[in-house]
Amino acid sequence: MPKAGRYDYPFFDLDSCIDKLREFHKLAQVDQATRSIFAETLKMSMTGGGFVNLISSMEKYGLIETGSGSVTITGVGKTILYGEKSEMEQLKKKAVSNIDLFRELYEQYGKNVTEEQIRVFLRQKANVDISKAQKKAKSVDTIYKKVLNYIVPAQKLGPASGVKTFGLGSGRRETSTETELGKEPLKIQKGGLYIEISSDAQMLENIEYAKDFLIFMEQKLKGKTEPKIDVTSTNLK
C-alpha cells in the first residue's frame, strides 16, 4: 500500500475496487476464496504488483478481509454491491472518508485542491522528505480527484443512515441495516447469518421473541433444558 509520510492510502480508487469485486463475485458466486483463486478469477497474477495493490486497496476501503491466504468479502462489501441505493452511497462515503489522508486534505482545502497544495500538505502534515514530496503529491492528486465526490468532513461522517458497522472481538465486522428504524425492517447480517425483523407495531415484541429464540437454539445445541417459549409466534426470518 502506498505511503505518504505518516499516512497510508489506497493505490486504486473506490469505484475501480468495487468494479473488480463485482466482477469476482459475479464469476465465482462465493464470498470467500484463496488469494490464488481470487487472482485467477480476475485474470491477474497473484504475485504481481497490480493484484497486491488491488487487494490492499479493497481492504483499506473495508470491502474485504484477508488472512490465512484467503480473501473474504465483508458485510460492507456485500452491501455496497447489492444493497439499497441509499445504503450503497452512505457506505461509499464512509469507506473513503475514513481514510485520514483524503479526509484531512478535504477539510483543509476542499474540492479544488491543487497539486502544489498537496505537496505543501505532505511536507507539513505528513513529514514527507522534500526530495520525494513532488512525486508523491502527483500520485496523491491523481487518486484524490477520483474519490473526491465521496469525501465528507469528520463531523458529518457519523453512522451511515441505514447501515451501522461495528467491530467484533474476532476482528471481523458485522453489518446492521436500520433504515428509518420503525419504518423499515431491521436487518442484521454477518457471514452466513441473516436476521430480518418486520417493522410493524409489534417490532419491540418481535425483537424480544428473536432474543428468546436465539437463546433457545443456543441452549438446545448445548444440550441444556429447553426454555418454554413460543417460537412459532416470531417474525424472525
Whole-model pTM: value is: 0.65
Res 170: pLDDT? 39
Q: Do residues 199 and 183 make contact, with C-beta atoms less than 8 angstroms apart? A: yes
Alpha-helical runs (H) found in the chain: 14-28, 35-41, 49-60, 75-82, 85-97, 100-109, 115-124, 130-147, 154-157, 203-221
Other beta carbons less than 10 A from residue 46's beta carbon: 15
Backbone dihedral angles phi then psi of residue 43, each to the nearest 5 degrees: 55, 45
Domains of the chain: 3-82 (1.10.10.10), 85-156 (no CATH), 200-237 (no CATH)
- C-alpha cell of 104? 484531512
Q: Do residues 160 and 87 make contact, with C-beta atoms less than 8 angstroms apart? A: yes
Res 108: pLDDT? 93
Among 43, 40, 53, 41, CA closest to 12: 53
Rounded to whole angstroms, the Cα distance separating 8 from 208 reads: 44
Res 168: pLDDT? 37
CA dihedral (45, 46, 52, 55) in degrees, to 10, reads 110
Rounded to whole angstroms, the Cα distance separating 159 from 148 reads: 20
Res 179: pLDDT? 41
Res 210: pLDDT? 73
Is residue 218 packed enough to be buried (19+ CB in 10 Å), middle (13-18) or exposed (0-12)? exposed
Res 152: pLDDT? 84
Is residue 216 packed enough to be buried (19+ CB in 10 Å), middle (13-18) or exposed (0-12)? middle
Q: Which pLDDT tens digits describe the chain residue by residue (237 residues)?
A: 888 999 999 999 999 999 999 999 999 999 999 999 999 999 999 999 999 999 999 999 999 999 999 999 999 999 999 999 999 999 999 999 999 999 999 999 998 999 999 999 999 999 999 999 999 999 999 999 999 999 987 655 555 444 444 333 334 444 444 444 444 566 665 555 657 666 555 566 667 667 766 776 777 677 755 445 554 444 444
Q: Do residues 157 and 94 make contact, with C-beta atoms less than 8 angstroms apart? A: yes
Res 157: pLDDT? 58
Res 169: pLDDT? 36
